[in-house]
Amino acid sequence: MRVLSGIQPTGNLHLGNYLGAIRNWVKMQDEMASGSQCFFFLADMHSITVHEERAQRLKNVREMAAALIAAGIDPDRSVLFNQARVPAHAELAWLLNGTARIGWLNRMTQFKDKAGKNREGASVGLFVYPVLQAADVLLYQATHVPVGEDQKQHLELTRDIAVKFNTDFGVDLFTLPEPIIPKETARIMSLRDGSAKMSKSDPSDMSRINLTDDDDTIASKVRKAKSDADVLPETYADLAERPEAKNLVGIFSAMTGDSTDAICARFAGQGFGALKPALADVLVESLRPIRQRFEALKNDDVALDAILQKGAAKASAAAEPTLRGAYDAVGLMR
């Protein structure tokens, strides 16, 4: 089994990233059987579809590496690297551009959402972004890819590209990856709007809990999180029409491992004046060790670069046979 997943280096992790994906990555890493391997990469080449100053991009990549390590990704047990240090990603993406079809890319809903009405003004990189994603996966003969619902379409495209390439050139080069969609993955919503996902792009810092927030900031954000005036019911199902309340109970459940029904039963008949302080305590105690590890590492550029370089060397070695096979299949001499 070979698992691969990537994350955009867009600054520090927030609670939504951690509970929605990173904690599951760590769990997979820790439970991986002998002979299996996890590849985790920072998608810095994908990040150029949005303009960003050079210094900020470098800072984001290093800080995201520090955050992943602080959250539990072990560079000695998994392969952790940044995409740009492995040129095979860009090389294979160009080869796959000859196989992917414009009609396939036109159906990608994420491009439509991100380009919006300014489709003609969007970058070519944003349009072909899914082809680079396909290269990311296919390079390593990944058997499984952890994905959210919003990325399932891109993984299906990856499989389509792999099948067409293998068929067109009469080879059995690319493995068809399967999605991993953990049932226990938490969907964490904004603290200001229970109908919107917690996001780094939200202009309000009060909408999210950053893994770098100090204890007082976390407590303050939870205390000021949007809720309602009603008391908590005995069962989680009764929160169906109360998105903010549902979100806070869901976060409590995800952090403690207790079921959402158990959380409701514990606070049934009480208002958020009882739940919020308890939730704040759980978050503060759980996130403090991650923040402390992150703070100790985030400014050590030498150590972070050494970790990423070591991971890139492993990734390059793993990718080389596939890249060589792709060049040979299309008849390009290297």
Active site residue 314: no
Side by side, the strands of the sheet bearing 37-42 are 79-82, 37-42, 2-7, 144-146, 178-180
Tokens of 329: 């299949």
Tokens of 270: 């009480």
Q: Give the Cα separation of 278 and 271 in Å (integer).
A: 12
The helix (H) or strand (E) run that includes residue 221 is helix 215-224
**Residue 7 β-bridge partners:** 42
From the candidates 59, 112, 117, 197, which is the catalytic residue? 197
Active site residue 197: yes
**Residue 40 β-bridge partners:** 5, 80
Q: Are 271 and 242 in contact (CB under 8 A)?
A: no
From the candidates 59, 114, 164, 314, which is the catalytic residue? 114
From the candidates 164, 200, 226, 310, which is the catalytic residue? 200
Q: Are 170 and 29 in contact (CB under 8 A)?
A: no
What is the full DSSP assignment across 256-301?
A: H---HHHHHHHHBT--HHHHHHHHHHHHHHHHHHHHHHHHHHTT-H
- Residues marked as catalytic: 114, 197, 200
